[in-house]
Amino acid sequence: MKKTELNNLDLTLYEETLDNGLRVYLLPMENVNNYKVTYTTKYGSVDTKYYKHNKLITNPSGVAHFLEHKMFEQESGEDVHSHFSMNSSYVNAYTSYFNTTYLCEGNRNFKDDLEYLISFVNAPYFTEENINKEQGIIAEEIKMRQDNFFINLVEESRRNVFSFSGYKDPVAGSIESISKITPKILYDCYNTFYVPNNMHIVITGKFKIDDAMEIIHKKMDHIKRSEDIKRKEIDEKDKVIKNKTIIKRNVEMNKLIYTIKINKDNLKKLPDYKLDIYLSLYLDTLLSQTEDFYLRNFEDNTFKGINVFTDDIDNFTTLNVVADSNKIDKLVKEIDNTLKLIPDENTFNRKKKVFVADIIASSCDEYYMSGVLTSFINKYDKPIYDIIDIIKSLNYKEFLSIIKKIDLNNKNICILEKNI
């Protein structure tokens, strides 16, 4: 078992790869009472096309999310949520563009929680009857999402920013696409992607390493690896599809999402994780709540609420500003002008220190560390052991060379406007 100290965090990460390819990451933590387990497959909403025995398979959108829902239905009829509730534990799952993750959290029955989580994810059960039932449930979920103004905004933005359908389509698919899902489609996708060498387990918090590995070997050693995983390559254009979209909705206040699209291949050749930090720093140095842009426009009542974030999708990153405002034109002009500014070196170094302080302060939280580890492995296919040292090593000259290559005109402005 590989043992690595996480620099500056007083934590030790233990790693083991089983003979069948399953990767296991264990982070025992002192002075905490809870544990968290994530069990992830590299299979998400973009995987609508893949090769099986050299034959191209094409599926409707929403299959990965639908499959995630159906994994909670057991052939025995036992309710998965009830089982964890009896242990005073919590279970859930989520699907993204590229991954599906099952998780549980608890503080009393680690061994049973871990064993049961692996067991139900390893036991698919799909029938015409339970699929028809789920189609109705997810259709209602899709309708509810359509009534959510924030989701409307984000999904419309993605349709205008991306050309590849997998990036444009909602993770849950559409009512029409999920109506085409069959037991065969689910079993084929499960048997292709839910294989040990396409999956990983992360455990953080209060647990014993020997207990964890005993259960993982017991539940996983007999499952064979698969070499029959070949995704269809994604061809995504650098440019946004549309620059501006206005949608009429019954909103009390106009809503904006301002999105810049960046192909990271066009920036400086650096590891993805370093580029991602630099781009986050770029937004934070100019638009965060402590900077002039925010304070000035908040005082002028240019916006009521605002959120700034990056969204990483494969080798693309989007820089996003989401806001409630009845002065959209003024706000867009303010964002335009602010992003053209060059952050000064003092602000850059101050923000680096804030990033470092936030990570150190949060590193004693088992849930935070689970999220960080799972996210790193999902995004970069490995943990980042020295994230503090990496942030400290970032330099202002390199930062400027990156942000100067960003095409600020490659943007989409999407507005939900009052339907008067």
Q: Average of pLDDT values for 220-242?
A: 89
pLDDT tens digit sequence for 350-393: 999 999 999 999 999 999 999 999 999 999 999 999 999 999 99
Q: Are residues 204 and 353 located together in one domain of the fold?
A: no
Residue 214 lies in a domain: yes
Q: What is the pLDDT of residue 305?
A: 84
* Last residue of one domain, picked from the residues 231, 255, 281: 231
224 and 287 fall within a common domain: no
Does residue 236 sit within a domain?
A: no
Residue 325 covered by a domain: yes
Mean pLDDT (the chain) is 93
Residues 311 and 271 in one domain: yes
In a domain, 75, yes or no: yes
The answer to whether 323 and 256 are in contact (CB under 8 A) is yes
The pLDDT-based confidence of 53 (bands split at 50, 70, 90) is: confident
345: in domain: yes
Select from 231, 261, 278 the last residue of a domain: 231
**Structural domain ending residue among the three candidates 199, 231, 263:** 231
pTM above 0.75, yes or no: yes
Length of the chain, please?
420
Decide if 270 is inside a domain: yes
Q: What is the rounded average pLDDT of the residues 192-217?
A: 97
Do 283 and 196 belong to one domain? no
Tell me the C-alpha distance between 51 and 45, whole Å: 16
Residue 350, domain CATH: 3.30.830.10
Q: Is residue 380 part of a domain?
A: yes
Q: What range does the domain containing 16 cover? A: 2-231
- Asked if residue 203 and residue 121 are part of one domain, the reply reads yes
Judge if 259 and 327 occupy the same domain.
yes
Amino acid 420: pLDDT: 65
Number of domains in the chain: 2
Q: Which residue would you say has higher pLDDT here, 420 or 37?
A: 37
Q: 149 and 85: one domain? A: yes
Does some domain include residue 285?
Answer: yes
